[in-house]
Chain A
Amino acid sequence: MKNSLRFLFIALLSATSAQAASTWTTGHGDIGVHYDAGELHLHMHLHSGAVVGGSALGVDTEFEPGDIISAVTGVAQLSRPSNPSLNPTGVAAGSPIWILPITANPALPFLGWGTEELDSGDWTGNLTFSLVNVISPSGSGYFSVYTPDGFGGLDFNMSTFDGGITGADIATQAAGTHNHRFVTFSETGLWEVQMKVSGTHALDGFKESGVESFFFQVTPEPSKALFSGIGLGAVLFRRRRPAQS
């Protein structure tokens, strides 16, 4: 089953695009939403300075979701901490896990979620990003999205491990806003994450986009080119010295 799906994915790419998808390696980008001719759409909104296919974008640029592969390099890899709050990642404590962060790391794509192209006054309630399907490289990997609550807890928005994919695997936010969430992967390889977005337009009523596929290439080793220096727009910090006790 997994092989045929992968084959289908490659075939679709070659059928719909003259070029292969480009790899996004660093800079800020969002899973974006726009509303056009009465329909909601998902896209990848990469901001100026984001590096795609080895070149920095001079201006903000929007891509079809399938035209971008987000590079989740070994910089994102860590050994899963034992904190049981992380169980919904589907990764056992001590096993490798790849996590895209919520603060910029210049060696990784800084992935966010943006509804800023929607006018907050046009939408009642939140926009809802729904997880539809995840195709992991082995067919048995796990994907999750979570948000720290600031009080020491983690709110899992999506988890393919925790009960499989259900209507509860959603991330919501108001129209006209921007947000960041941790995104985790349990293994290396090419991942396909299928999502849709829905919301209620004040005049046009309930709207739901088509399902779009977002691709992530998870690799074990950092890409050497990314260590040439710190990037534009970076924020780096070290853990404080532990409190004296």
Chain B
Amino acid sequence: MELHLSNMRLNRLFSLLPLLTAVATSSAQVSTPQTDLLYGHFETHIDYTLSPGNPNAGWQFYVSYNKNDDFNDRTQIVRLNPATTRIVATPPTQGTISAAISELGPVGQPIWVLPQTNVIGAPYLGTRAVFDAGIFKASFMGFYVDDPLGSITLALHSVTGTGPAAGGHFGLYTSDFAGPLILMNSADGIDANDQIETLTPDAHSHFFWSFTKPGNYAVTFRGHGQLLTGLGGASTQGFGTFNFSVPFSSRLQNTATLRLGAGSEWHVLLEDATNAVAYESRQGFLEAGTASTSTVQSTFPGATRQMSLTLSALGSAVANIVGQTPALAATGVPAGLLQSDAVTVRLIGVHGPGQFALLNGTGTALLMNSADGLSAADSVTVSRSANLSALAAFTADGLYRVTLQLSATTSGGQSVTSQPFTLSFGSNRTAAFTYTQWRQSFEAAHGLSSGALSSASADLDQDGLRNGHEFLLFWHGCNPAQADLGLNPVPQFNGGFLGLDFLRDTYKDALNEGSFQINPMLSTNLSTWSSQSPRNPGRPLETYETGAEKGNALGRILLRRLRIPVTGTVDKAFGRFQAVMP
């Protein structure tokens, strides 16, 4: 028999030594930068080291990954602080509850399941226990016996966050050949049965992790075990919390509240009160899917679609804020800051295949109208004392960019004006608009012949960004019929990292290697480029695409950052995008 010893292998005896040293000197949690994990192989990781006199101090919980494929090699583990690590349920994890998993929630309702097997574009999340033989008794069927190996138990302790607050549940399960074998499920309460009973030294296994509503989930596990009789026999436990996020749809369907904000930072939030989520204006899509009423058509001739909008100067009270700091979102226009607590909203731009108008709530009067040109008359004023009910209407199907500017007079008498805010509307279009719908809309908006933009790999406006590239960067304002290379994101350097921030639209690139894909790249010399993709996921503390979100929740339009740790300074840096298109 021929034996091949592969490289990267370390004798396990040697591998134990550095571990003991490392853990003994770093019993405090590691500090790692805020990181959002969309895909790649990671673990919910439990360390236990003997802690004489205080057995409960021996527990540590991490999100971890291994730098090689040998999970018996403890020297290659990289530990991330679970408090600053968020595991995201990406589009490939979304499905529907079937009868086979009806314990988890109502059949037919959506569910997000991180897979037990390795799937492109989804987190491949396992559970790993790192401790030495000769510490714990073995537990099985609820009994403890002295055993040369020993084992610990991982029990579900609590599930909190905005997802559970909205009725969402957490489940953890495996597959017993023919169907799911559910080990933890918060849908029927949490008790002693919600557990992975036996994890022996160096255990590593994968499970399905399920969530039944969008939002955040803080899942707290209790690790516990009983020390060997010779070590005192004490029962010991430790707690670790892992953070998961199920992104909201980024869709505002036929109704939305525009939350206007002033103060330390002008902002406009798009609030979906029904789902308790508000999006920063460039991370939500306003869908006017309702056929225009005859009243709206008589006020705004040619109107075909409409949606309800409420304009408010009051802060948002919803629990989930995407793209803005929750404290700012909750404040809105601070009372007393502006005269009359009022903000004027002026229409300064409309781009789309037809005309846009804002009507009063009954549809009997025009408040803004692009059909007769834009002027200061295309304005409304909103104060803290009264919300404004309105209707947005459009004259042709397609995509619209509606640009607004906020202005006010401070209580001290000074005129102040915001930067422009562009809202993205779909008239009879959803956030999942196709390339064909996108190019038809821009062809119509620019009077181009039908099909002028049909090739995704062509570059009609010759600005160096191909049409498909402009489609993928829609949320940056890219326009395939107008040279706008300047809208391409540029790298930033701070805090020891070189970063390239961009808006990732997970409708256009669902991370499952569909027909359109986009991946960021960074370089400091234009000859070597660092990049990653769902297929080439990289590692969080090396070149890695992570989140750059300001909010406490996520949507399908994600603010992402390609991040590279850098020592010293960076003279210059270059960012670009690798776009895959049909």
- Closest-by-CB residue of A relative to B147 is A229
Is B71's CB under 8 angstroms from A28's CB? Answer: yes
Contact of A234 among B100, B115, B141, B198 (CB under 8 A): B198
Q: Which of A3-11, A129-137, A172-180 has 4 or more CB atoms under 8 Å from chain B?
A: A172-180
B181 to A, closest residue via Cβ = A239
A28 to B204 CA separation, bound complex (whole angstroms): 10
| CB pair B198 A177 closer than 8 Å | no
* B95 lies within 8 A of A151 (CB): yes
Q: Do A230 and B6 touch across chains, with their CB atoms under 8 A apart?
A: no
- Tell which of B170-178, B213-221, B379-387 binds the partner: B170-178
Stretch at the interface among A54-62, A160-168, A190-198, A216-224: A54-62
- Whether B6 and A85, one on each chain, are in contact in the complex, defined by CB atoms closer than 8 angstroms, is no
B: contact size bracket: 35 or more
A231 contacts B by Cβ under 8 Å: yes
Whether A235 sits at the interface, judged by CB under 8 Å, is yes
From B97, B120, B174, B187, contact of A237 by CB (8 A): B174
Interface status of A22 (Cβ within 8 A of chain B)? yes
B377 at the interface (CB under 8 A from A): no
Within the assembled complex, what's the spacing in Å between the Cα atoms of A215 and B72? 25
**Contact residues of B between 171 and 197, Cβ < 8 Å to A:** 174-185, 187-188, 193-197
Are B1 and A233 neighbours in the complex by a CB distance under 8 Å?
no
Question: B118–A177 contact, CB under 8 A?
Answer: yes
Cβ of A48 and Cβ of B117 under 8 Å apart? no
* Cβ-defined contact, A150 with B69, below 8 A: no
* A174 vs B176: C-alpha distance when bound (angstroms): 25
Any A CB within 8 A of the CB of B116: yes
Q: A22-B1, A102-B175 are in contact. Are A235 and B198 (CB under 8 A)?
A: yes
Contacts of A148 in B (CB 8 A): 116-117, 175, 179-180, 208
- Of B71, B178, B180, the residue contacting A47 (CB under 8 A) is B71
Question: 1/0 per residue A123-149: CB within 8 Å of B?
Answer: 000000000000000000000000111
Chain A residues contacting B12 (CB-CB under 8 Å) are: 48-49, 58-59
Which of A60, A86, A229 has a CB less than 8 Å from the CB of B149? A229
Which residue of B72, B111, B179, B197 contacts A233 across the interface (Cβ within 8 Å)? B72
Query: Max chain A CB contacts within 10 Å: which of B10, B124, B179, B195?
Result: B179
Cβ of A63 to closest chain B Cβ, rounded Å: 7
Is B201 an interface position by the 8 A CB rule?
yes
Question: With A148-B116, A178-B69, A238-B197 given, is the CB distance from A103 to B205 under 8 Å?
Answer: yes
Complex alpha-carbon distance, A73 and B195, angstroms: 28
Is A96 part of the contact surface with B, judged by Cβ < 8 Å? no
Contacts of A236 in B (CB 8 A): 140, 151, 197-198
Which A residues lie within 8 Å of B95 (CB)?
149-151
Q: Give Cα A102–Cα B96 distance, bound, in whole angstroms.
A: 23
CB neighbours of B199 from chain A (8 A):
234-235
- Chain B, residue nearest A52 (CB): B1
- Is the Cβ of A179 less than 8 Å from the Cβ of B118? yes
Is the CB–CB distance between A102 and B111 below 8 Å? no
A85 touches B196 (CB 8 A): no
Distance in angstroms between the alpha carbons of A244 and B187 in the assembled complex:
11
| Contact indicator B178/A86 (Cβ below 8 Å) | yes
Chain A's nearest CB lies how many Å from the CB of B106? 13
B133 at the interface (CB under 8 A from A): yes
Let me know if B70 and A234 touch, CB within 8 A. no
CB neighbours (8 Å) of B86 from chain A are none
Given contacts A61-B5, A240-B183, A240-B185, contact A120 B111 (CB under 8 A): no
A88 within 8 A of B: no
B117–A147 touching, CB < 8 Å: yes
B12 to chain A: closest residue by CB: A48
Name the one of A18, A121, A230 contacting B198, with C-beta atoms under 8 angstroms.
A230
CB <8 Å contact, A60 and B98? no
B151 (CB) vs chain A CBs: closest residue: A230
A60-B6, A148-B180, A151-B97 are contacts. A102–B147 as well, Cβ < 8 Å? no
Chain A 57-100 interface 0/1 with B at a Cβ cutoff of 8 Å (1 = within): 01111111001000000000010110101100000000000010
A35 proximity list for chain B (CB < 8 A) = none
A48-B72, A102-B175 known; A151 and B5 CB under 8 Å?
no
Give the distance in Å from the alpha carbon of A147 to the alpha carbon of B174 in the complex: 12
Contact at B1–A63, with CB atoms within 8 Å?
yes
A38 interface contact, C-beta 8 A: no
B151 to A174, Cβ gap below 8 A? Answer: no
- Measured CB to CB, the closest approach of chain A to B381, in angstroms, equals 50
Q: Nearest CB to that of B138 among chain A residues?
A: A230
Which of B12, B101, B113 is the most central at the interface, judged by chain A CB atoms within 10 Å of its CB?
B12
Distance in angstroms between the alpha carbons of A232 and B201 in the assembled complex: 6
**Cβ of A39 under 8 Å from chain B:** no
Q: Is B99 an interface residue (CB 8 A)?
A: yes
B372 at the interface (CB under 8 A from A): no
Q: How far is the CB of A93 from chain B (nearest CB, A)?
A: 10
**CB within 8 Å of A: which B1-19 residues:** 1-6, 9-12
What does the 1/0 interface line of B57-101 toward A look like (CB < 8 Å)? 000000000001111110000000000000000000001111111
Q: Cβ of B100 and Cβ of A59 under 8 Å apart?
A: no
Contact among A18, A48, A121 for B9, CB-based, below 8 A: A48
Specify which of B3, B103, B149, B198 is in contact with A63 (CB 8 Å cutoff).
Answer: B3
B181 touches A243 (CB 8 A): no
Q: Is the CB of B572 closer than 8 A to any CB of chain A?
A: no
A180 interface neighbour in B3, B133, B149, B206, Cβ under 8 Å = B206
Q: How far is the CB of B545 from chain A (nearest CB, A)?
A: 14
Residues of A within 8 A of B (CB): 17-19, 21-22, 28, 43, 45, 47-49, 58-64, 67, 78, 80-81, 83, 85-86, 99, 101-104, 114, 116-117, 120-121, 147-154, 173-182, 229-241, 243-244
Known: A63-B3, A102-B117, A231-B149. 6 other contacts (CB 8 A): A17-B1, A48-B72, A63-B4, A153-B100, A230-B151, A236-B198
27 contacts between A and B (CB under 8 A): A47-B70, A49-B72, A58-B11, A58-B12, A59-B10, A60-B9, A62-B3, A63-B1, A64-B2, A81-B177, A103-B174, A104-B203, A120-B537, A147-B117, A148-B116, A148-B175, A150-B180, A151-B98, A178-B69, A178-B118, A229-B149, A230-B140, A233-B71, A235-B205, A240-B182, A240-B184, A243-B188
